[in-house]
Amino acid sequence: MIKINSFGIIGGDKRQLMMAKSIVADGYKVYMTGFETIDTTVGTWIDTTLENTVNNSDVLILPLPITKDNKTLNSTYADRPIYLNSDFAGLISGKRVYCGMKSQLLKLCPELDPKLIYDYMLREEFAVQNAVPTSEGAIEIAMREYSGTINGSRCLVIGYGRIGRVLAAMLKGIGAYVTVASRKKQDMAWSHLAGYNAVRSDKLHETGGFDIVFNTVPYVLLDAHTLAKTCDGAIVIDLASQPGGVDKEAAKRLGIRCTHALSLPGRVAPKAAGEIIKNTVYNMLEEEYE
Amino acid sequence: MIKINSFGIIGGDKRQLMMAKSIVADGYKVYMTGFETIDTTVGTWIDTTLENTVNNSDVLILPLPITKDNKTLNSTYADRPIYLNSDFAGLISGKRVYCGMKSQLLKLCPELDPKLIYDYMLREEFAVQNAVPTSEGAIEIAMREYSGTINGSRCLVIGYGRIGRVLAAMLKGIGAYVTVASRKKQDMAWSHLAGYNAVRSDKLHETGGFDIVFNTVPYVLLDAHTLAKTCDGAIVIDLASQPGGVDKEAAKRLGIRCTHALSLPGRVAPKAAGEIIKNTVYNMLEEEYE
Amino acid sequence: MIKINSFGIIGGDKRQLMMAKSIVADGYKVYMTGFETIDTTVGTWIDTTLENTVNNSDVLILPLPITKDNKTLNSTYADRPIYLNSDFAGLISGKRVYCGMKSQLLKLCPELDPKLIYDYMLREEFAVQNAVPTSEGAIEIAMREYSGTINGSRCLVIGYGRIGRVLAAMLKGIGAYVTVASRKKQDMAWSHLAGYNAVRSDKLHETGGFDIVFNTVPYVLLDAHTLAKTCDGAIVIDLASQPGGVDKEAAKRLGIRCTHALSLPGRVAPKAAGEIIKNTVYNMLEEEYE
Amino acid sequence: MIKINSFGIIGGDKRQLMMAKSIVADGYKVYMTGFETIDTTVGTWIDTTLENTVNNSDVLILPLPITKDNKTLNSTYADRPIYLNSDFAGLISGKRVYCGMKSQLLKLCPELDPKLIYDYMLREEFAVQNAVPTSEGAIEIAMREYSGTINGSRCLVIGYGRIGRVLAAMLKGIGAYVTVASRKKQDMAWSHLAGYNAVRSDKLHETGGFDIVFNTVPYVLLDAHTLAKTCDGAIVIDLASQPGGVDKEAAKRLGIRCTHALSLPGRVAPKAAGEIIKNTVYNMLEEEYE
């Protein structure tokens, strides 16, 4: 990482602001574009034009998701759209670019050299770290929605991937009785020895008596039958990406309260989410230069 | 507890509703007064007049605090005031009464026999159990206010009494780096061996670098000097009862964000708070009849 | 698993005795061979000849390791050797056999049908579960060897695979300050968010000040240079299989106390180790019949 | 503590050796008497006569227990007895003395000024800290005696005082299912919210199914009836001081394996035990001079 002196941040939301602050604190120069409508602290980074940002930066960081409309760069605080087209491609061409959803960027700007585009979103450690703000966001929702305390409550966590692991550990850390549903035998072994009640996800409908059910699995395990058996009297918090893992109509019919919580990291902990992007980009740069 | 068949609940808020539900689920008859303005579920308990409630119940439960205006019973959902006067005393006289703040009740109704008035609020296990919803409420506030994640954050908990203990354990359970400030040597020994960084509360101003500071001590340890040193860059959440443990003017002057969180159990977890009252009353009845 | 009524256990050590007891408690018939020299409880399982055991059992379980001398079955308590040869192959041929180190068995008995030989040792959940007795064995050694307490001690765990994860969690659970060294970025992310100090295993020589160092990595990370820097004043417990991960000569020269702990599950917790084999065989049978 | 430059350590065992090493590392001069029979490291402390030690030291530290025979100082490594008599009293008179069991010392040396004798054993933080090596010693015994793993085992901890609290937390930290028996309602509330199964110690005989039972209560709760019900199939580890909390004859009759573990800190973790004495003496000195 010796050769990097400056970063250019183009577009994004609060996470990018927090990331900028954190990169500045590490001693780098930071140029920013797409944050014209908000008042940013003077002297920490340099708010400037797209051209200036690109020309002065050794490395560019683009947001996640890179676009919401498949046309312009995702930039909540920009005063005008930044189009992802051949002009944009021409401008940033030759620069090392770190973004989320590289394939999307290359589809809109096919002129870019794929070898210079790096996708931080595909990195394992990015996903691992994001499990933390996601889990805390889920717990915050649970605290708000549930009229009892998490301590002493009976929680079901469906899925024992990254989010399932972090979430289950935090719930236990607060004092909940945690059941984990998973499919693979080794995940059941892991969740059992971590002190959870381990159940098979294909036997979910044989369980019940939960106060709060968290789903992390991105397909509909919580169908009408399972909802009726497993989630009776429970609050359901669905953390799976669209379309989620809950048969919403059935939940409505059964009178089961269900919250679909999406994009938690950016919403509940922009500072943490920004630092996770930074850390991942740093890791990628480090590996590049080692 | 063999002889108790019915409970009378007079006044209160959501906690008393939850408590009623929970007592009914235990198989007892419950009579209620002071919940006229809300629609209560049919068939679970009996909404009736003050006279009926008193006459039909083996035991009466009054709310906490018993009064907010030093004249009438604290009853959020009543359609008319219930005066704590000699009429009230005459009506309930001879009944076993469980309330919070017994001395307050006896001041307003000196005719009552003190031997029949039991104060659940003075019970040690009541305070211990209430530390749970208080701590969760504090964490919920921290999650909402802090833009990072609790996991990985540096938290200071001032005081190692009931709330300090539960709160520190939960913060660690989520993955925070926890420092505990206490006065007594044995509390420092306890907090150290629980894995926290243990500091002396009279040396607080020598510490710093925290993201979130929780105060549980009911006198002003966080004066201007300590705020400036210890809380620079931190969010302060004050859990101490009125007037709290923070020099609020100094905090304002120093630009330190401070939240004074009061009566958390009833607000964030009425179900838990109601069950805690119930459990404590049950314990007291059990001891009476053993 | 409906069709299985009886298990045959041939050879092994205390683990197989414990496993037999546990299978009997589950309601199955158990035939055993190779335990002639010890007094086994009457009435729980049937001690009999090799032929009887094979003929009466639906399923056979062989020990781990299957052989220690590459000729005879590993059977600590047998009164005469059981040769792994074509006679043995002929006898058990056609039976479903569960063993550790299937390839070894097939080399000695090439007549056997590989499709009927199942290796429980290759199962992920077997390895996961065995991490528990291995970790406890390591902690027991540490408690015995270290003159301080684990609580408050500074422990280094090298490697964040199955054993590293379980061991680090247990050490933290007792109150140690845990540092985890790993190679992969995602493992560093995981160990960091679990609350450990995360270091890169290729920068081990830059760390130090530990009381106890546990190695789980099966190649020599602890060479002379790293030992001198990282392990100065520490006790080293090597959990890696032969030849281990410590330059033993260098350790001797440097005066660093090093324990190479092998086969811990069978030695420290034969009951647990036996039940782990049982659970894994059950899982495999279940999958077969589903 | 500004005025203290030198410590004199008279008698004791390994703990005192470890303590001496630790005090030297803090920069003080240490004079020692009563360690003639062992080879102590040259240059760290000064092995000398009783007279020299007393004359050169600002403060004296005597061992715990101070005597085992009610005549001589407890000194495992002395080459001749040090009598606790008027000669000894005359020699140390006027010096500030820190010891365990002050009353014992004053009985044997009534000439001493009680105001100059300080008992570190009576300090709350001394007892709190000693709960750590005691608990680890108990776990080490359990690991050695129990053929399963602590993780996943069902443990009963009787008593929720200092040792009960630390031990239960460590057992849970390793992954055991922990039940805590206590007498007071608030202790039951505490143990319940810490995540244990909380039972009343006067209803112990109604519980059962444990793998390991730890007793910390110094009177016989484990009588014949309770042993038969609660401890059937379990290993019993008694941590209560003499005569312990187990009806040993009944245990023998019932075939229940029972280990009475005494003086664990000094035996399993002399370094920790020595540092605990040191820390407590430091605390006492600090308070003296504040």
Residues C90 and C57 occupy one common structural domain: yes
- For residue B26, what is the DSSP state? T
Residue B202 has, within 13 A of its CA and on its CB side, a CA count of 4
Choose from D191, D193, D282 for mutation: most chain B CBs within 10 A. Answer: D193
Read off the tokens for A207.
């369980």
The verdict on residue C188 lying in a domain is yes
Which of helix, strand or coil describes residue C41? coil
> With 80 as the cut, is the pLDDT of residue A67 above it?
yes
Question: Distance, in angstroms, between D167 CA and closest chain A CA?
Answer: 17
The verdict on residue A272 lying in a domain is no
Question: Distance, in angstroms, between B232 CA and closest chain A CA?
Answer: 17
The verdict on residue D286 lying in a domain is no
8 A C-beta contact, residue C77 and residue C34: yes
Mean pLDDT for chain A overall: 93
Average pLDDT (A123-141) is 95
**Each residue of B171-196: pLDDT tens digit?**
999 999 999 999 999 999 999 999 99
Residue B186, Cα to own-chain centre: how many angstroms?
A: 26
Residues C110 and C202 occupy one common structural domain: no
Out of A131, A193, A283, the one facing C166 most closely (by C-beta) is A193
Q: Determine the residue type at A112.
A: L
Q: How many CB pairs under 8 A join A and D?
A: 14
> With 70 as the cut, is the pLDDT of residue A106 above it?
yes
8 A C-beta contact, residue A159 and residue A184: no
CATH at residue C21: 3.40.50.720
User: Which residues in chain A are contacts of D169 at CB distance < 8 A?
Assistant: none
8 A C-beta contact, residue D182 and residue D164: yes
**Each residue of C95-111: pLDDT tens digit?**
999 999 999 999 999 99
Write down the pLDDT at residue D128: 94
pTM recorded for the entire structure = 0.91
Domain boundary among A94, A122, A150: A122
User: Which residues in chain C are contacts of D170 at CB distance < 8 A?
Assistant: 151, 173-175
Residues B182 and B215 occupy one common structural domain: yes
**Each residue of B120-175: pLDDT tens digit?**
999 999 999 999 999 999 999 999 999 999 999 999 999 999 999 999 999 999 99
Sheet holding B6-10, edge to edge: B46-47, B29-33, B6-10, B59-61, B96-99, B117-119
> With 80 as the cut, is the pLDDT of residue D269 above it?
yes
Separation in Å, CA A7 to CA A19, A20, A96: 11, 9, 10
Q: Given a contact as 3+ CB pairs under 8 Å, which chains touch D?
A: A, B, C
Taking chain C, what is the end-to-end CA distance rounded to the nearest angstrom?
Answer: 8
Write down the pLDDT at residue C1: 46
Separation in Å, CA C87 to CA C69, C82, C117, D121: 18, 10, 17, 71
Residue C133 has, within 13 A of its CA and on its CB side, a CA count of 26
Cis (ω within 30 of 0) for the bond into C114? no
- What is the tally of structural domains in chain D? 2
Residues D114 and D132 occupy one common structural domain: no
Domain boundary among C65, C89, C122: C122
**Each residue of A247-269: pLDDT tens digit?**
999 999 999 999 999 889 988 99
CA distance A214 to A158: 6
Choose from B178, B190, B193, B196 for mutation: most chain C CBs within 10 A. Answer: B193
Question: Distance, in angstroms, between D270 CA and closest chain C CA?
Answer: 6
CA distance B202 to B197: 15
Residues A53 and A133 occupy one common structural domain: no
The verdict on residue A226 lying in a domain is yes
Strand C235-238 relative to strand C258-260, pairing = parallel
Out of B175, B193, B194, the one facing C195 most closely (by C-beta) is B175
The verdict on residue A287 lying in a domain is no
Enumerate the β-bridge partners of residue A179. A156, A197
User: Which residues in chain A are contacts of B133 at CB distance < 8 A?
Assistant: 149
Residues D135 and D181 occupy one common structural domain: yes
**Each residue of A186-235: pLDDT tens digit?**
999 999 999 999 999 999 999 999 999 999 999 999 999 999 999 988 99
8 A C-beta contact, residue C269 and residue C13: no
Q: Does D193 touch chain B (CB under 8 A)?
A: yes
Average pLDDT (D240-269) is 93
The verdict on residue C182 lying in a domain is yes
Residue with tokens 């959902």: B77
| A8 phi and psi angles, rounded to 5 deg | -115, 125
Separation in Å, CA B224 to CA C59, C160, C199, D226: 76, 46, 39, 58
Domain boundary among A87, A122, A157: A122
> With 70 as the cut, is the pLDDT of residue A41 above it?
no
Out of D175, D192, D194, the one facing A195 most closely (by C-beta) is D175
> With 50 as the cut, is the pLDDT of residue C206 above it?
yes
Read off the tokens for D266.
């000094």
8 A C-beta contact, residue B276 and residue B130: yes
**Each residue of D136-169: pLDDT tens digit?**
999 999 999 999 999 999 999 999 999 999 999 9
Q: Is the dihedral of CA A241, A245, A249, A253 positive or negative?
A: negative
Residues D66 and D146 occupy one common structural domain: no
- Among candidates D59, D60, D8, D10, which has minimal Cα distance to D35? D10
Enclosing domain of residue D146: 127-266
Cis (ω within 30 of 0) for the bond into B65? yes
Average pLDDT (A130-138) is 96
CA distance A23 to B64: 51
Write down the pLDDT at residue A44: 77
Average pLDDT (B96-112) is 95
Residues A68 and A110 occupy one common structural domain: yes
The verdict on residue B282 lying in a domain is no
Q: Does A173 touch chain B (CB under 8 A)?
A: yes
Separation in Å, CA C218 to CA C260, D19, D212: 12, 38, 34
Percent of chain B whose pLDDT exceeds 70: 97
| C255 phi and psi angles, rounded to 5 deg | 70, 30
**Each residue of B29-77: pLDDT tens digit?**
999 999 988 876 655 788 889 999 999 999 999 999 899 999 999 999 9
User: Using 50, 70 and 90 to split pLDDT, how confident is the model at A1?
Assistant: very low
Q: Is C159 left (phi over 0), alpha (psi -120 to 50) or beta?
A: left
8 A C-beta contact, residue D277 and residue D144: no
Read off the tokens for B278.
């119930």
DSSP for D23-65? HHHTT-EEEEES-TTS-PPTTTSEE--HHHHHHH-SEEE--SS
Choose from C122, C126, C128, C187 for mutation: most chain A CBs within 10 A. Answer: C128
Nearest CA in chain B to D124: B186
Mean pLDDT for chain C overall: 93
Residues A137 and A260 occupy one common structural domain: yes
CA distance C215 to C246: 8
The verdict on residue A285 lying in a domain is no
Q: Does B149 touch chain A (CB under 8 A)?
A: yes
Write down the pLDDT at residue D180: 98
**Each residue of B223-233: pLDDT tens digit?**
999 999 999 88
Residues B218 and B261 occupy one common structural domain: yes
Write down the pLDDT at residue D1: 46
> With 70 as the cut, is the pLDDT of residue C260 above it?
yes
Read off the tokens for A139.
């717990």
DSSP for B199-222? EEGGGGGG----SEEEE--SS--B
Average pLDDT (A14-18) is 93
Q: Does C194 touch chain B (CB under 8 A)?
A: yes
* Ordered alpha helix ranges (H), chain D: 14-25, 50-56, 86-92, 102-108, 124-145, 162-174, 185-193, 224-230, 248-254, 264-268, 270-289
Out of A133, A139, A147, the one facing B269 most closely (by C-beta) is A147
Residues C135 and C109 occupy one common structural domain: no
Residues D186 and D236 occupy one common structural domain: yes
> With 80 as the cut, is the pLDDT of residue A13 above it?
yes
Average pLDDT (D213-241) is 94
Average pLDDT (D108-132) is 95
User: Using 50, 70 and 90 to split pLDDT, how confident is the model at A122?
Assistant: very high
Q: Is D72 left (phi over 0), alpha (psi -120 to 50) or beta?
A: beta
Q: Does C153 touch chain A (CB under 8 A)?
A: no
